[in-house]
Amino acid sequence: MENIFVDKSINLIGEGADKVIIDGNSRLYAVNLLADGIRMENFTIKNGIEAGIYTEYDNIVIKNCKITANELFGMEILSKNVSIINCTIYAIDWGILIAGADNCTLKNLEIYSVENKSITIVSSNDINIEDT
């Protein structure tokens, strides 16, 4: 029940979003992706203050995750070549913030019970949103 910091290129594969929960325990971010080339799949991420998932590194894949109960953003993406696929984001203030990012793909997302904006894109290029 702690927030996690990932600072090397690695594949993090959980048994399933309903089985593996990362609880940020009211830390700034529940998950900090701090290296290029991280792949994260099959987790529930909750209880971050600023965001459930934060990254400013490139070539990140986030797949089959549930992001909920974070105080501000579900995800805060400040990087290039990020793919967010088959994720559910709900019960949150803001969904996804993409800022200063390039060449990102959001595909097959389910976003609901978001108080403000589901997806916010600021100063970014080539952001593709598919089947969301």
Residue 61 has a pLDDT of 98
Cα–Cα distances in Å, from 16 out to 40, 43, 51, 70? 11, 6, 21, 20
Cα angle vertex 20, ends 17, 24, to 5°? 105
pLDDT at 3: 83
Mean pLDDT of the 81-109 span: 97
Q: What is the pTM of this model?
A: 0.95
| Number of Cα atoms under 13 Å in the Cβ half of residue 93 | 12
Reported as a pLDDT band with limits 50, 70 and 90, residue 1 is low
Residues 123, 27: Cα–Cα separation, whole Å = 27
Residue 90: how many other CB atoms lie within 10 Å:
15
Whether 38 has a pLDDT exceeding 80, the answer reads: yes
